Amino acid sequence: FQKTEAPRPPGAKDLHAYPWDKSSLKSMPVDLQQLKKLDAYALKVNVTNSVEELVKALLKQARTDLEKVRAIWMWICHHIEYDVVGYHNKSQLSSKPRDVLQMGKSICEGYAELFEHMCSLAGIQCKKLSGHAKGHGYKTGQTFTGNSDHAWNAVYLEGRWHLLDSTWGSGSVDDSFTKFTYRYNEFYFLTHPALFINNHFPDNSNWQLLKPTLTLKEFENNMLHNSNFYTLGLLAARPDTPIIRTVNGKASVSVDCRSGTLFMFKLKGTDEHGLMTLKRHGMELDIYPQKTGSHKLEIFAKPFKAEAADDVYKCVLEYVVECESVDKAMRFPKELHQPVGPSWFSERQGFLRPSHSQPVLHTNDGRCSLTFTLSKDISVLTSLHADGSGSLSEDMGRRHVLQIHRRNQIELKVHLPHAGNFVLKIYSKKKSDPGNYDYIFNYLIRCLNTEVKWPAFPQSYSKWLQDYEILEPLSGLLPANRNVQFKLKMHGVAKVLVQAENTYPLTQNKGCWEGTCNTSGCREVFVMVHENANHSFYSHVLKYEVETQ
């Protein structure tokens, strides 16, 4: 073993700019792929009789100082567990490297001392640091007083000081602090100092390795981004303080990230009281708590990769929302699904160029129309949902939306049955797939005009083809004892009849079938087609109801 000289204090060349420049998660270039073989070797080393023997065995495969530190780091993170019992009874606990190795467990103090001792045996300058950490038991917005509560290390590599925390690299304890679980975390190996400061505040501010350094007050007020936040490629969040006050019953949060990331949120454990929209580089969220007081708001994220179905949402941010007044008008229907509105996700599923890019549509007369270009050969299914007394049956929910296809364009006409808040849900499937439709996205539609009362569109049957179009009558409820004008765009049929009490043939004119029908004496009107002039049977394509007297 070579003797290490006494560690030099950090100087100008060790410092990194604060805030984080969004470049790298680490303070020096580390090629994790290249370290894979060394990592695997270090995990298998099984020496616990002496620290010297352990270091000797680990160094067999390590050439550079970085590799030596890596081997020591890997071994400690996978072989020393956090001593949850000892934590509650510190007087009985030894943090001496030899005892930590023999016991195979310790608290942060022991991890840091073992790391420092193993590095010095390997000829690498290393220092144990202590300070305050936003770790287990940390409450959003709390202050730090009294003695430091955590320990970690600085190592000297390639002419600069770097930070690491092997306690947090090894795993985590549960909420009740009774069980430790090994869960290796790469993030805390040579963490960029501008990120490390997020949850580590050293007693000696020189060991922040930052310019400018932060005060304890700034550390306390800063937003806690846990390691998931950075590991998932997220870059920034607004607001950047953990406590948000509502303004007129509303609070807003946004997150920036590099590329396709899926988000969800929970306010007091549910996602009912918000509107979240996915953006190409992040997400935006408006929340409207429906009770005053303090509420916990959690934001979760996961990468969007078609093949990574096993990826779970991980919590990346936690806020406390202080709500002083409630905006009752912003109660959302139960059926509303987060995120709301179109996004890169609906685009990937084949819905391009939405006419409405916002999540909420306001209509005064109870009608609205949305268009998309479909980039794939998909069938689309739509349904309208409302809450409470105004709720719609599944069949009626479908019939208040009419699809019109023109080549690769789709138009969705919505006629609301009454005023209120509605959810328009959009599903799709590949035309070639026999299976079910997949839910893709939804809009919130709001109408305050209590005069509104649109009937459903006519019912259509399987012979009504996707690219047929009803020009008139659009209403599925026809007036009684009236002459009603019909105009339908259909192709590939030989004859079209409207059957009321009597039967009325429609005539073909420039791709449209037109004519009049009288609704006296009947409750229902059917449109029927002859697909082939030589056939004698008709197929039903549309059904209208007639108003009762």
Active-site residue flag, 108: yes
Cβ-contact 217, 241 below 8 angstroms = no
Burial track 316-337 (b if 16+ CB lie within 10 A, e otherwise): bbbbebebeebeeebebbebbe
Collect all residues with Cβ–Cβ distance below 8 Å to 65 and sequence separation of at least 6.
Answer: 124, 157, 158
Active-site residue flag, 368: no
d(CA 527, CA 478): 13
Cβ-contact 242, 304 below 8 angstroms = no
Map tokens 């990826």 to a residue.
Answer: 311
Cβ-contact 210, 197 below 8 angstroms = yes
Closest CA to 403 of 423, 380, 419: 380
Give the side-chain half-sphere CA count within 13 A for 27: 31
Angle between helix 108-121 and helix 51-59 axes, rounded to 10 deg: 60
d(CA 400, CA 458): 9
End-to-end CA distance of the chain: 103
207 Rama class: left (phi>0) / alpha (psi -120 to 50) / beta: alpha
Cβ-contact 285, 310 below 8 angstroms = no
Give the side-chain half-sphere CA count within 13 A for 387: 12
Candidate list 117, 132, 150, 400, residue with the active-site label: 150
Candidate list 77, 78, 79, 108, residue with the active-site label: 108
Active-site residue flag, 150: yes
> What is the widest separation between alpha-carbon atoms in the chain?
107
Question: Residue 68 to residues 71, 294, 314, 315: CA-CA distances in angstroms?
Answer: 5, 48, 32, 33
Candidate list 14, 83, 165, 271, residue with the active-site label: 165
DSSP string, 238-300: ES-SSEEE-BTTBEEEEEEESS-EEEEEEETTBS-SEEEEEETTEEEEEE--SS-EEEEEEEE
Distance of alpha carbon 376 from the chain centroid: 25
Question: How does strand 459-460 pair with strand 409-415?
Answer: unpaired
Amino acid (1-letter code) at residue 95: S
Distance of alpha carbon 299 from the chain centroid: 8
d(CA 439, CA 543): 27
The set of catalytic residues is 108, 150, 165
